[in-house]
Amino acid sequence: MSAVLSLPATRGGAWLRPALLGLGLLVVLVTAWQAALSLFQVPAFVMPAPLTVLAALVDQRQAIAQALLATLGTAVLGLLAAFALAVLLAGLFTGLPWLARALLPIVIGLRTAPVLAIAPVLIMSFGRGLGTGIAVVVIVAFFPIMVNAMQGMAAAPRNALELFHVCGAGPLQRFFMLRLPASLPFLFTGLRAAASAAFLAAMLAEWLSGAPGLGTLILDSHAYRELGRLWAAVLVSMAAAFAIFAVTSAIERRLTAWRV
């Protein structure tokens, strides 16, 4: 472990250190999982053993991979749509305070409405497929992005805004050249918070609509008491949510490197 921690701060070491630490943590968690099952004599129909889950992951790899791609596609498309909607609303609300006072309560109401209550409307509007999944992801993910984007756009330097005004810059120029770059750290804070929720929202849409994906696979596995496949799908969904979060963080580091 000391050798891992003393790796040089090179590009390879920067990637190898967290990978090895993550692998070590995974081994500890799996060992604790197996030890808890043995210590408390948990029946297999309540919680499967790690080897059972691993065997199901290998045996059902094709079905799990297809379900993962379906859910991942819904989550990514929904997150992109939520990002675009959030940036648009944040720009409008920052530039037009009267519009924010008029529409923000409606936006908050839409965000706080239980998805289960509006699911029939979404299914009737978008069908039992990708459209409903994207709509659910947008509803769940756009609000934290929008709130952070508004905070970042409002934090644009006042002297820079005055300089843009003196130079005759229009609203779009001020938005794209000043407010949007200034909001990037705030924007990605909201995006990181929404990234993991987007994957869960995609599975929620599958539970509600019956569309193919990890959510439906988990429900079917539970119905047929295939707990090995169920937990294999759960672990894959956790890994996918972490991957989305990691990709979002990497994009943030690339786009905000100029602030260092």
Element spanning 240, H or E? helix 227-255
Q: What domains are there in the chain, each with its CATH number?
A: 50-259 (1.10.3720.10)
**Residue listed under structure tokens 């529409």:** 103
Residues 6+ apart with CB under 8 A from 164: 173, 174, 177, 178
Residue predicted with more confidence, 66 or 19: 66
Q: Is residue 11 over pLDDT 90? A: no
Q: Is residue 9 over pLDDT 80? A: no
Residue-level pLDDT at 179:
85
Angle 159-148-98 from CA coordinates, rounded to 5°: 70
The model carries a pTM of: 0.81
Q: Are 182 and 156 in contact (CB under 8 A)?
A: yes
Instruction: Say how many C-beta atoms besides its own lie within 10 A of residue 163's C-beta.
Output: 12
Q: Are 179 and 122 in contact (CB under 8 A)?
A: no
Q: What is the largest CA-CA distance in the chain?
A: 74
What is the token pair recorded at 136? 């659910």
Q: Is residue 4 over pLDDT 60? A: no
Which residue, among 91, 24, 88, 68, has the nearest Cα to 240 in the 3D structure?
A: 68
Tell me: the pLDDT tens digits for 245-255?
888 888 888 87
Residues of the chain with pLDDT > 70, as a percent, come to 91
Q: Is residue 26 over pLDDT 80? A: no
pLDDT band at 192 (very low <50, low <70, confident <90, very high): confident
- Distance between CA atoms of residues 143 and 140, nearest Å: 7
Tell me: the pLDDT tens digits for 82-121?
999 999 999 999 888 899 888 888 888 877 888 878 888 8
Q: Is residue 29 over pLDDT 60? A: yes
